[in-house]
Amino acid sequence: MTGPMLTRRHFGALAGGLATAGLLRRAAFAANPGVVAATFPGAWEDAYRTVLTPMVKAAGFDLTVAPSMAQDQLAKVMASRSHPAYDSLLMSPGQTAVATENDLIQKIDPSKIPNWSQLDPSFQTEWGPTVTVEVNGIAYNPDLVPAPKGYKDLFTNPAYAGKVSWTGFESNTAVMAYTQIAKIFGTGPDDMDAVFKLFKDHPESLSAVVDSTNHQMSMYQQGDIAVFMCSTNNVAHLKSLGLKAEFVHPETGSPAAPVYLHLTKGAADPDGVYAYMNAAISKPAQEALQQPPTEMFPTNMGVDLTPSIAAYITKAQVKTLVYPDWVSINKNRGAWTKSFDAIVAK
Amino acid sequence: MRSSGIPYLLPMLVLSGLFFVLPLVLLILFSFTRDGAVSLQNYAAFFEDPFNVKVLTATARLGLETVAGTTLLGLPVALLYWHSGPKTRQVLVFLSLVPMLTSNVVRTFAWIVILGRQGPISQTLMALGATGAPFSLLFTEFGLVLTMTQIDLPLIILPLVAVLSGTRRDLSDAAATAGAGPWRIFVTILLPLMVPGLLAGWILVFASTSASFVTQAVIGGARNVYVPQLIYREVGILFDWPLASAIAVILLVLTGGTLLALASLARHPRFARYV
């Protein structure tokens, strides 16, 4: 037989070559480790990967978009402070408050973000840029239920009995809805006993309690639920999939949550994070991100709203939305989570 | 001089020591700390709350129900394997392995469709007139057991097949010649032969089911709470890691306790001769 023979010398050369290649790759990685940026899973992750990766690459940095819910981001960074899992975090005020309290993020230097001045001043914070504002409300299927007026309808109108899905206090969307419901049925946003009593008095409301909004989206597609608490982005995503879904601003006001990009303390490549932030608030990126399926509200002053987003919210209306007190929520969130879980458990 | 074989095990022992035993020891130690001091407070806090005890019971029940489900479905497959020729046996083993080639997450999400209102179970029963309106098995313990049974079925079939493939087939022929009917052959010959496979399968299924976070969360919903969800809540939502460690140790003890119970069963005089 005259086939190729792998001698011991060849094998040694091959192993040596592979080891050298590995070392060279490590050396290259050490010089430019790239940015690992946490983003919310789903449509957000896809959009950030598609739109921002080439822009950050053009600035000279590799970007890895890692999907993770905001609470999970906190847990992972807390678990390894000296070598944080992410160089940049994406979160809402509730988690940002925890991140600052636990010294997980650092103040940014706006001079390193050339597009900083393009942000509306209300979207500039010392902890990082606001990349969008999530406007929350109620999603419903017009084929299955009438348009609800607000949260109260979901408990008092029999048309919604057994058709509404809720999540626990892990979800920011749910927490914001519950604080509004506490205002309606209780004495104020922190009166969560009133909410728990409401669920006890309306056990049909507990027929579809799940663990996340993403899960609710799957169930909505299957026709298993007709109503859930959502952001405008969730409804835009459902519509982009060809599903019938409408968004309602609750009559008591729409809760809203700004979404921030943060620089993690101990980030491997802070310059890369600044390039990533600069890309995320740039006009081309925000114009792309406000297209379906994400339809993110732009924070760059130079970006005009698409008709589709303007149908939900205008730039002037953003300041009139309901912004919950996250410091107060965070103080109670652990106890509320446990109480809710105990109430809904079969 | 005969080698003891230990040098060949060294890489595995080192890896297990570094990445399994050491973290496990740290986890156990961590579960006995509270505010920097050694304490039993985490365990006390867990057992003082009736909700946690209810969740622990529900987790054990889920594991046992899935063990029952996989046994009911796995035994006929094992018997078919026993009675089949070499080609059919290969096909059966392949078909048992196929589900394991797809991700657990993918299989779990497929079950959302199967168990939902528009899914085949609901639609078939409606077409047969067994129910007047679409219904959903999502977020029910029955739906979860059904899902876990399908997902974990290979874990019981493969040990059974492994046991049977090493057994002489003429045992049942000899029993038949002696006048034993199919049922008697199954009860007195095949079932005892399968005991080691059943024990291995039960342990694997129980451990897999009781720790299956994704399937429990997705199919069970937020109303069917099991121990892994408690651990996730303490780690990712409440950031109480010592308590999370204690709950993880309790889950480990629950699985270990089942393992010991099954091992004791195997040592019972009635079964010991087959193990």
pLDDT digits (tens, 9 = 90+) for B58-84: 999 999 999 999 999 999 999 999 989
Q: Are residues B91 and B7 in the same domain?
A: no
The size of the A-B interface in CB pairs under 8 A is 77
- Nearest CB to A224; choose among B136, B222, B237: B136
Residues A123 and A163 in one domain: no
Domain count, chain A: 2
Q: List the CATH number of the domain containing A54.
A: 3.40.190.10
Give me the pLDDT at residue A186, please: 96
Any domain includes A7 = no
Q: How many domains does chain B have?
A: 2
Residues of B in contact with A222 (CB under 8 A): 112-113, 116-119
Strand A164-167 with A209-210, pairing: parallel
- pLDDT tens string A122-152: 999 999 999 999 999 999 999 999 999 999 9
Runs of H (alpha helix) within chain B: 6-16, 22-31, 41-48, 50-83, 86-101, 104-115, 120-127, 141-165, 170-177, 182-185, 191-210, 213-220, 227-232, 241-267, 269-272
Contact A147, A246 (CB under 8 A): yes
Q: Is the pLDDT of residue A252 over 60?
A: yes
As a whole number, the mean pLDDT across chain A is: 90
For position B5, what pLDDT does the model report? 79
- What residues make up the domain containing A123? 16-133+257-312
A40 shares a domain with A186 = no
- A267-291: average pLDDT: 97
What tokens does B166 get?
């090493």
pLDDT of residue A105: 98
pTM as predicted:
0.81
Residue A237 in this model has a pLDDT that exceeds 80: yes
The interface residues of chain A toward chain B in range 226-255, judged by CB-CB distance below 8 A, are: none
Distance from CA of A344 to the nearest CA of B (A): 5
Q: Residues A228, A281: one domain?
A: no
In-domain check, residue A11: no
Q: Do A71 and B225 touch (CB under 8 A)?
A: no
Q: List A residues 55-94 in contact with B (Cβ-Cβ < 8 A).
A: 71-72, 74-75, 78
Q: Which CATH number belongs to the domain containing residue B244 in this structure?
A: 1.10.3720.10
Which of A75, A215, A346 shows the shortest C-beta gap to B223?
Answer: A346
Q: Is it the case that residue A274 has pLDDT exceeding 70?
A: yes
Do B131 and B149 sit in the same domain of this protein?
yes
Report the alpha-carbon distance of residue A90 to residue B140 in Å, rounded: 34
DSSP string, A155-203: HH-GGGTTTEEEE-TTSHHHHHHHHHHHHHHSSSTT-HHHHHHHHHH-G
Residue A280 falls within a domain, yes or no? yes
Q: Is the pLDDT of residue A206 over 70?
A: yes
Which structural domain range is residue B72 located in? 39-272
Same domain, B203 and B248: yes
Q: Which pLDDT belongs to residue A31?
A: 53
The torsion of the CA quartet A153, A157, A162, A165, rounded to 10 degrees, works out to -10
Q: Do A215 and B235 touch (CB under 8 A)?
A: no
The pair phi, psi for residue B58, each rounded to 5°, is: -65, -35
Which residues of B fall within a CB distance of 8 Å from A71?
236-237
For residue range B194-224, what is the model confidence (pLDDT) as tens digits?
988 999 999 999 999 999 999 999 899 888 9
Q: Which residues of A touch B222 (CB under 8 A)?
A: 167-168, 209-211, 341, 344
Chain B residues touching A338 at Cβ < 8 A: 51, 238
CA distance A91 to A85: 15
Residues A155 and A123 occupy one common structural domain: no
Task: Determine the residue of chain A that is closest to B53 in CA distance.
Answer: A342
**Are residues B138 and B213 both part of a single domain?**
yes
% of chain A beyond a pLDDT of 90: 76
* Main-chain dihedrals φ then ψ at residue A104, nearest 5 degrees: -95, -20
pLDDT for A240 beyond 80: yes
**Per-residue pLDDT band at A29 (split at 50, 70, 90):** very low
Shared-domain flag, residues B21 and B102? no
The verdict on A142 and A41 lying in the same domain is no
Supply the pLDDT for residue B143.
95
What confidence tens digit (pLDDT) does each residue in A171-195 have?
A: 899 999 999 999 999 999 999 999 9
Chain A residues touching B240 at Cβ < 8 A? 334
Q: What's the confidence (pLDDT) of residue B103?
A: 86
Q: Are residues A108 and A155 in the same domain?
A: no
Which of A71, A210, A223 lies closest to B222 in CB terms?
Answer: A210
Residue A334, chain B, CB below 8 Å: the answer is yes
Q: What's the confidence (pLDDT) of residue A18?
A: 55
Res A1: pLDDT = 38
Residues of A in contact with B223 (CB under 8 A): 206, 209, 344-346
Q: Quote the CA–CA distance of A171 and A212 in Å, as a whole number.
A: 7
Out of A207, A222, A337, the one facing B116 most closely (by C-beta) is A222
Average predicted confidence (pLDDT) for chain B = 90
Claim to verify: residue A226 and residue A248 sit in the same structural domain? yes
In this prediction, what percent of chain A has a pLDDT beyond 70?
Answer: 90
Is pLDDT above 80 for B271?
A: no
Question: Do residue A34 and residue A91 come from a single domain?
Answer: yes
Contacts of B225 in chain A (CB under 8 A): 341, 345
- Which region among A3-7, A227-231, A338-342, B94-98 has the lowest average model confidence (pLDDT)? A3-7
Q: Which residues contact B218 (CB under 8 A, 6 or more apart)?
A: A211, A215, B108, B109, B112
pLDDT tens-digit series, residues A300-338: 999 999 999 999 999 989 989 999 999 999 999 989 999
Among candidates A167, A169, A224 on the partner chain, residue whose Cβ is nearest the Cβ of B138:
A224
Segment B14-27, tens digit of pLDDT: 999 999 999 999 99
Residue numbers in A near B138 (CB within 8 A): 219, 224
For the purposes of burial, counting CB atoms within 10 Å of the CB of A18, is it exposed (0-12), middle (13-18) or buried (19 or more)? exposed
Decide if A286 is inside a domain: yes
Is A10 contained in some domain?
no
Burial class (CB in 10 A: 0-12, 13-18, 19+), B89: middle
Query: Is pLDDT above 60 for A262?
Result: yes
Q: Do A341 and B118 touch (CB under 8 A)?
A: no
Which chain A residues contact residue B133 at CB under 8 A?
none
Q: Are residues B217 and B82 in the same domain?
A: yes
Instruction: Check whether residue A109 and residue A168 sit in a common domain.
Output: no
A341/B51 CB distance under 8 A? yes
Q: Are residues A128 and A39 in the same domain?
A: yes
Contact B51 A342 (CB under 8 A): yes
A204, A332: one domain:
yes
Q: A222: distance to nearest CA of chain B, Å?
A: 7
Asked if residue A246 has pLDDT above 70, the reply is: yes
Q: Is A262 in the same domain as A167? A: no
pLDDT confidence of residue A4: 44
B19 with B62, same domain: the answer is no
Pair B51, B18 in one domain: no
